[in-house]
Structure 1
Amino acid sequence: MKIGTWNIQGLRAKQREVISEIEKMNLDIIILTETKKKGGGEEILNEYLHIWSGVPKDFRAKSGVSFLIKRKWTKFIKRIENINERILRIDMNVFRHKITILGVYAVNDNALVDEKNKFFQDLRETIASIPYQNEIILIGDFNSRVGNREREVVGQYGEESINDNGKRLINLCKEHALCVGNTLFRPKNIHKYTRIEPVRNIQSVIDLVVVKNERRVNLNDMRVYRQPECGTDHHMVVSKHVFPFRNKRRCTEKDTDFLIEENNVNFKTDLLKQYSVEMLYQNRIKNKLENSEDKSPEEMYNHLKEAVFEAAKEVLGVEQEKSKFVEKFSENLESMIKEKKKLYLAWISNRNDDTRKEYVEKRKEVKELVKIEKNEHWERLCRDIDSTLGYNRSTKHGKQLKI
């Protein structure tokens, strides 16, 4: 399983770019930090389930943490808990391994002491609430530089610098027998540093993956990827985790009664309002249930469940979940985004002032055009709703607006 993290410094104006880069990396799960997305909830974005936690909607947009989980893995989700705008918890059961993933966006190292104390206390209490047998993965932007000396927590490949947040994180790791995965592997320098401040030209490792010292789920590899770009000074960090099967037999339904069924799809149930469709659906179920009297109760249940699903699939059809409107950018904007990406790659290759200036200017142009096209989209949508209000399509638009 490929699990990543990326501080994107705001999701609202660049959602399309972020999703595109994640899809190119073919990540199974990624934790986005500093999303600045308010409230909390879930939505489908292409092939990913997006789960987010942010500040209340009447607050100024800041902080925020999100999970993007590839839809094939959502069936393993057992629990979702929005701790606050800086910590988001998801429990999963993957191949009979219970795992808790905490998406983390820590306060800055120069924050007030009270803010730091509260954040690390919240994180400490959240970890303490995780069952002992669970695998633990803490991943996100910790704003913590942990050095390379505390060998109980840090491997030999950490950076030399350490800050106050780093000391606090080290103490927390010691309390819960955790270690910083970034320091366990020896990458090239270009694949080591997770953030580069271009003005001061300071490199740091602050986007971290923290795991148990004694773990059954192996941390197989991790590195920084510089190519993904969305106008942030953080690079994407990707870790690879291996979930060995606990035994050779497949999980039974009893073992995974909390899982979301693979057949958990949305059918076009509105069609059942039509008498002819309703009768056809009933007849299909009746035909599929013939010759099932000699089955055991468990076999009857499975047979009935399969019959209902197959009949609905044949008669009603599946209602395809729509992606967000961000996919409808104009060809001009798509072209500008590609040009911005080329300028970004040119800049990280030579790091001179001229290429950075070109990249920053193009980034501003793209940001402004995104705002314009998003406003135009909402204007078109409102006009469409106004013209279709009272008809069946108004339901669809109501869902889009989350009324």
Structure 2
Amino acid sequence: MAHFLEKSSIPQATATLTEWNMVSDRIITARLRSQQVKVTVIQIYAPTKESDEAAKAAFYDQLQDELTTVPRHDLLLVIGDFNAQLNGDCSGFEVTMGPHGSGTRTNDNSERLRSFYASNNLCIGNTFFQHKRIHKMTWRSPGGLYKNKIDYICISKRWCLSLLDVKSRRGADVGSDHNLLVAKSRLKLMRSTPKPQRPRPFNVTKLKETPIAQQFQLELRNCFKILAETGGEESVENDWTRLHLIVIESATTTIGRRRGTYRNIKDNERCTNQSKGRSPVANHRSTRKTMSRALR
């Protein structure tokens, strides 16, 4: 009932399938991985208008449970046979649907469809594009006497502008009384600038150990000796650059950098300084409180 992939791209699409779930005989979900964004597709088959209220309520409750599990940043598509006709009256639902519906009358399924997707920030893609009536119909009765538009492609409101067109293809041989429904989309993504990584500070506490401090001094002395032998008449900027690199390489070799992120290191240093700055009386009071709690 819905078609998104060319024949040549089916193997690549199969490789991008990360998970799928057969929820019920009316709902199946799949999640695809792309280079830009992950896509969650929910294929549904809604109860007909002749079904009882309990069956309709159970279906929409189950569909709501599935929508709540979809990650917020995913491109969400809800597609399939909704068994509902929508006319061009979009009053009060301008964000959810467009003015290009094809139904002549609405029923209970139509109202459920509009209200449900409005409450879940979904857009009914078929209704936003103007086509000839013959290109809107998605279902035909046996013999072709009656034709209706009951299949829809709904997309999350965040990605609604990426839809370029939704159109029915009558010529496709799909072995069904439903026509093939095709959606074209194009993603416009914001360029993300990578944040500069702040280098971790050196573990200068190791210099308190005499062997490591002597090794660091020896490393610097050897590097300075090589620099003096190979140095020529260069500018002050070049001399400073070489000196800077020598100190960094020597420190990396001997003492290394501290573990953890820069924020964790600063937090640890702040806690250490605060604990050292406490007065002996405060420490004594804290010890007495701890002992009294233990004796209770």
TM-score normalized by the length of structure 2: 0.58
2:11 pairs with 68, 71, 89, which one?
71
Question: How many Å apart are 1:217 and its aligned residue?
Answer: 7.0
**Which string of whole-angstrom CA distances, capped at 9 and with x for unpartnered residues, describes residues 302-353 of structure 1?**
xxxxxxxxxxxxxxxxxxxxxxxxxxxxxxxxxxxxxxxxxxxxxxxxxxxx
The question of 1:28 aligning with 2:5 is answered: yes
Tell me which residue corresponds to 1:5: 2
Distance in 2 of aligned mates of 1:198 and 1:216: 34
Counterpart of 2:102 in 1: which secondary structure?
coil
2:60 pairs with 91, 110, 120, which one?
120
> Quick check: 1:109–1:143 contact (8 Å CA) kept in 2?
yes
Distance in 2 of aligned mates of 1:80 and 1:86: 14
- C-alpha spacing 1:182/1:86, structure 2 compared with 1 (3 Å): same
- C-alpha spacing 1:244/1:92, structure 2 compared with 1 (3 Å): farther
Tell me which residue corresponds to 2:102: 159
1:183 pairs with 124, 127, 142, which one?
127
- Max radius of gyration: which structure? 2
Question: How many Å apart are 1:123 and its aligned residue?
Answer: 0.8
Question: How many Å apart are 1:141 and its aligned residue?
Answer: 0.8
- Stretches of structure 2 that go unaligned for 5 or more consecutive residues are 194-296
Distance in 2 of aligned mates of 1:155 and 1:216: 12
- C-alpha spacing 1:217/1:147, structure 2 compared with 1 (3 Å): closer
Question: How many Å apart are 1:137 and its aligned residue?
Answer: 0.5
CA RMSD of aligned residues (A): 2.5
1:99 pairs with 39, 52, 63, which one?
39
> Quick check: 2:102–2:133 contact (8 Å CA) kept in 1?
no
**Which string of whole-angstrom CA distances, capped at 9 and with x for unpartnered residues, describes residues 205-229 of structure 1?**
1111011222177111111111123
Tell me which residue corresponds to 1:226: 170
Q: Percent identity?
A: 24
2:27 pairs with 82, 87, 91, which one?
87
Question: How many Å apart are 1:93 and its aligned residue?
Answer: 2.4
Structure 1 window deviating more from structure 2 (193-202 vs 100-109): it is: 193-202
Distance in 1 of aligned mates of 2:56 and 2:50: 9
1:237 pairs with 165, 171, 181, which one?
181
Structure with greater strand percent: 1
Distance in 1 of aligned mates of 2:160 and 2:191: 13
> Quick check: 1:155–1:184 contact (8 Å CA) kept in 2?
yes
> Quick check: 1:217–1:244 contact (8 Å CA) kept in 2?
no
> Quick check: 2:37–2:75 contact (8 Å CA) kept in 1?
yes
> Quick check: 2:174–2:180 contact (8 Å CA) kept in 1?
no
Distance in 1 of aligned mates of 2:174 and 2:39: 30
Distance in 1 of aligned mates of 2:20 and 2:14: 11
- C-alpha spacing 1:152/1:216, structure 2 compared with 1 (3 Å): closer
Counterpart of 2:65 in 1: which secondary structure?
helix
> Quick check: 1:80–1:89 contact (8 Å CA) kept in 2?
yes
2:84 pairs with 121, 131, 144, which one?
144
